[in-house]
Structure 1
Amino acid sequence: MPAGPLDPRWADNANCGSCDAEALFSTSSEQREMRDICRNCSVRLMCLADALQSNMRYGLWGGLTERERRQLLRAVPEQADWYESITSSPDPVFVAIREGKPLRLSRRNAQKKEGERKGDEDDE
Structure 2
Amino acid sequence: MTNVTRLPGTAEHHWTWQERAACRDLGTDRFFHPAGERGEDRAVRDEAAREVCALCPVQVECLRHALRVQEPYGVWGGLTEEERRALYARDAC
- Alignment TM-score, normalising by the size of structure 2: 0.71
- Does 2:38 correspond to 1:23? no
- Does 2:51 correspond to 1:44? no
Runs of 4 or more consecutive aligned structure 1 residues displaced over 3 Å after TM superposition = none
For these two proteins, the number of residue pairs brought into alignment is 74
Gaps of 5+ in 1: 79-124
- Alignment TM-score, normalising by the size of structure 1: 0.55
C-alpha distance in 1, partners of 2:78/2:86? 14
Corresponding residue for residue 101 of structure 1: none
- Does 2:85 correspond to 1:74? no
Q: 2:75 aligns with which of 45, 49, 60?
A: 60
Corresponding residue for residue 7 of structure 2: none
One-letter code of the match for 2:16?
Answer: R
What are the Cα deviations for residues 41-79 of structure 1, in whole angstroms up to 9, with x where unaligned? 11101100101111100000000000000001111238x
